């Protein structure tokens, strides 16, 4: 989907994603000391807002201006400050060495484009900074529920690790996430990777 299609999707009256942060974002980051963060492909900003509520200085970017505008409204309602930027994760570099956390959550792109986005994210890390990648895993197609049904935009752990080569890997693998469906609770399979500069 291009930015115009995402703008249309975000233009509805309801949130496209849940208001609360992603469960793996909370699981991984909750006890970390706050610092400077960038949330890449932030959508409506649920994770960026959660980080800001915990004292992080957050820049949130997405290529949908509608999503950015909605995120700004939600942040204002939550009483937190987030720097909102409309930008394409694959082409817009982030200032090198400028963040302690680069969050890339559900940025579902073809392999080369995802590698480009992760390259920008890792270059932005200050010494000791961490990149956290969460994605619908390729295995989700056959063994999980939800997410894109296009295998071309579902990464494997190996693909993500290739983009994080040279960093210290703290976590890399697939994790199950219970999801309510019309047929009851089923597990979605997400890829979770954490690496540190």
In this structure, the dihedral spanned by the alpha carbons of residues 162, 3, 126 and 32, taken in order and rounded to 10 degrees, is -90
pLDDT at residue 7, as a whole number: 47
Name the pTM for this structure. Answer: 0.90
Q: What is the DSSP letter of 147?
A: S
- Residue pLDDT, tens place only, 89-146: 999 889 999 999 999 999 999 999 999 999 999 999 999 999 999 999 999 999 999 8
Nearest to 108 by CA among 69, 76, 149, 73: 149
Kind and range of the H or E run holding 135 = strand 125-136
Boundaries of every domain in the chain? 3-12+20-196
Beta-carbon count within 10 A of 148 CB? 15
Domain 3-12+20-196: assigned CATH number: 3.40.50.150
- Residue pLDDT, tens place only, 178-188: 988 888 999 99
Locate tokens 């009851």: which residue? 184
């Amino acid at each position: 989907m291009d930015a115009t299609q995402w703008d249309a999707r975000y233009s509805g009256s309801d949130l496209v994603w849940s208001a609360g942060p992603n469960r793996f974002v909370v699981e991984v980051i909750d006890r970390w000391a706050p610092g400077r963060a960038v949330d890449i492909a932030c959508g409506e900003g649920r994770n960026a807002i959660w980080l800001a509520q915990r004292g992080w200085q957050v820049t949130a970017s997405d290529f949908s201006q509608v999503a950015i505008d909605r995120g700004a409204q939600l942040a204002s309602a939550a009483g937190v400050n987030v720097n909102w930027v409309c930008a394409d994760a694959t082409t817009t570099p982030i200032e090198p060495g400028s963040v302690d956390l680069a969050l890339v959550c559900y940025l579902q792109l073809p392999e080369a484009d995802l590698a480009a986005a992760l390259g920008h994210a890792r270059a932005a890390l200050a010494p000791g900074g961490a990149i956290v990648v969460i994605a619908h895993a390729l295995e989700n197609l056959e063994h999980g529920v939800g997410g894109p049904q296009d295998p071309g935009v579902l990464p494997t752990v190996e693909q993500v690790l290739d983009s994080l080569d040279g960093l210290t890997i703290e976590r890399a693998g697939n994790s199950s996430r219970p999801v309510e469906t019309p047929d009851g609770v089923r597990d979605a399979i997400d890829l979770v990777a954490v690496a540190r500069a």
